[in-house]
Amino acid sequence: DWPPGLVAARLSEEPVERRLVGRWAALAGHPEAEALLAAQLRDIEPSVQESAILSLGHLHRPTARDELKRLLRQGTERQQALAAEGLTAWSPEELEPLVQHPAAQVRSAVARRL
């Protein structure tokens, strides 16, 4: 069950509250976490989108990993860097192919995580 008030917080006008709900759901492994984070990837606030990308890494679900890999292929350079950081939750081997990535932000994220 969601803790009391959390349903309202996921729809809050405050981006920090929406980010925290997504992070909590991912870290708690809540069954609705993936759907919540998918919605946050489309949030109007970039900070909520970015937090959702990082939170996907905490889920340890194959579909979350697939979404991170999709963002590495199709996202903006910032989204790609965050997706690379999210992949570190699986293994350092996930980052190995990204060492030669054309985007400087991605290479920087990989260097920090390795």
- State the Cα–Cα distance between residues 24 and 113, nearest whole angstrom: 22
pLDDT of residue 40: 97
0.75 exceeded by pTM: yes
Contact in structure between 84 and 95 (CB atoms under 8 Å)? yes
Q: Which long-range contacts (CB under 8 A, 24 or more apart) does 87-93 make?
A: 87/57, 88/57, 88/113, 89/57, 89/58, 89/60, 90/57, 90/60, 90/65
pLDDT band at 1; cut points 50, 70, 90: low
By CB neighbour count within 10 A (0-12 exposed, 13-18 middle, 19+ buried), where does 2 fall? middle
- State the Cα–Cα distance between residues 28 and 22, nearest whole angstrom: 10
- State the Cα–Cα distance between residues 35 and 57, nearest whole angstrom: 14
Judged against a pLDDT cut of 90, whether residue 60 lies above it is answered with no
Judged against a pLDDT cut of 90, whether residue 6 lies above it is answered with no
More confident residue, 112 or 6: 112
pLDDT band at 89; cut points 50, 70, 90: confident
